Amino acid sequence: MSGGGATGGGAGGLPVAPRDDLALVEGYHSPQVDVEVRLNTNEAPLPPPAGFVEALADEVKRIAFNRYPDRSARDLRAALAELHGVKAEQIFAANGSNEVIQCLLLAFGGPGRSAAVFEPTYLLHTHIAKITGTQVHTGRRADDLSLDLAEFDRVNSAHRPAVTFICSPNNPTGRSESREVIEAVVGRAAGLVVVDEAYGQFARWSALPLVSDDGRVVVVRTFSKTWSMAANRLGYVVAPAGVVSVLEEVALPYHLDSVKQAAGRVALRFRAEMEARIAGVVEERGRIAARLSELDVQTWPSDANFILFRPLHQGPKEVWSGLVERSVLVRDCSGWPGLEGCLRVTVGTPEENGRFLSALTEVLA
Ligand code: PMP
């Protein structure tokens, strides 16, 4: 039995029923299959540079583990502020950009408020919104999977959402929006515009220059992709200082541990190495795209470290399994709204990409 009351026992022998609205929320998981080539979760293909691990070990030795961490992560924020040429008061960091998004929704969404998303897009925007009790209004992208401004206007004027999510480059389609489109959204949006740039470093432009203290743009970034630190769970937002102060209020005290703060600072010392790696991924992305264009699949242009493709004459599940049989794992996106028949491959090392391309060629033959 479920129900609005907090007492009386829940389904499955729970001592109390969970919130009714959680039933609307499905988890977001990519099956982890034991394969040699994992190209399903858009991580960096290489571990951080060796010097990073040594430098971090030195920092870790100096941490006072019996003390709570610096609650406002001053040094990390100062380093990120320097990286982006903004004020430290405009940076808020959390445990992965997912937690940043959760804090944004705790602060600006919640019961009685809504968020807008434009599908197909990153499913966690909807998922986290629902978990925080924020109503979600869903618009559709255009047929070429770009953001349709007329559709944005429709959703924005009908619902006046407190938060509008624009994922650019968009996961899982790979497209980034032009500056003109984002500026148009910002000029008309009813509330905060969250530009999720988890893949921003792979794109040709960034919305970061649109952030200002008197504006409505916030840009979310992560260390999970470019910085080879998915295991570390560190993300941040560049936002108006007033927005950052509110985020600090909804985050739990000492949410960012000392090791993570140190890891973020140390990573930023390896900017040149990371930029070289980004260039390598972009080059490999071009190689994969070129080969896909010769195969029996539809593809879309990508500004990210992954490519969406749709086999034209075979089912996505069949192709996904054929790849797994050849020890290559990609993401099956065919169940996502608007992505019937689609799979997504992350750009890996040149060797991994070669394995993927020859496995796919075989499966499609
Ligand atoms: N935003 C987008 C668009 C993503 O694809 C991801 C990772 N899949 C995230 C945010 C979350 O990244 P993390 O929590 O690892 O920083």
Are 288 and 307 in contact by the 8 Å Cβ rule? The answer is: yes
Task: Kindly report, residue by residue over 55-78, the tens digit of the pLDDT.
Answer: 999 999 999 999 999 999 999 999
What mean pLDDT, rounded, does the chain reach? 94
Span 297-319, average pLDDT: 97
pTM: 0.94
Index of the ligand 1 atom closest to the CA of residue 121: 3
Query: If we measure between CA atoms, which residue out of 200, 201, 240 comes closest to residue 218?
Result: 240
Q: Which two tokens stand for residue 189?
A: 């949006």
- Beta pairing, strands 297-299 & 235-238: unpaired
User: Which of 98, 221, 227, 236 has most ligand 1 atoms within 8 Å of its beta carbon, as the pocket-test mutant?
Assistant: 98
Index of the ligand 1 atom closest to the CA of residue 234: 16
Residue 50 pLDDT class (50, 70, 90 cuts) = confident
Distance 223 CA to ligand 1 centre (A): 9
Distance 220 CA to ligand 1 centre (A): 9
Residue 160 burial class via C-beta count within 10 angstroms: exposed 0-12, middle 13-18, buried 19 and up: middle
For 87, what's the count of Cα atoms within 13 Å in the CB-facing half-sphere? 11
CATH superfamily of 31-48+272-364: Aspartate Aminotransferase, domain 1 (3.90.1150.10)
Residue 21 pLDDT class (50, 70, 90 cuts) = confident
Measured from CB, residues less than 6 Å from any atom of ligand 1 are 42, 96-98, 122, 167, 171, 196, 198, 222, 224, 230, 235
Index of the ligand 1 atom closest to the CA of residue 97: 16
Indicate if the pLDDT at residue 5 is higher than 60.
no
CATH 3.40.640.10 domain residues, the chain: 50-270
Atom 4 of ligand 1, nearest CA residue: 198
Per CATH, the architecture of 50-270 is what?
3-Layer(aba) Sandwich (3.40)
Are 93 and 77 in contact by the 8 Å Cβ rule? The answer is: yes
Indicate if the pLDDT at residue 1 is higher than 60.
no
Distance 8 CA to ligand 1 centre (A): 38
Distance 123 CA to ligand 1 centre (A): 10
pLDDT of 113 reads 98
CATH 3.90.1150.10 domain residues, the chain: 31-48+272-364
Indicate if the pLDDT at residue 151 is higher than 80.
yes
Counts for the chain of helices (H) and strands (E), in that order: 11, 13
Distance 365 CA to ligand 1 centre (A): 34
Residue 9 pLDDT class (50, 70, 90 cuts) = low
Index of the ligand 1 atom closest to the CA of residue 170: 3
Distance 18 CA to ligand 1 centre (A): 27
Distance 318 CA to ligand 1 centre (A): 27
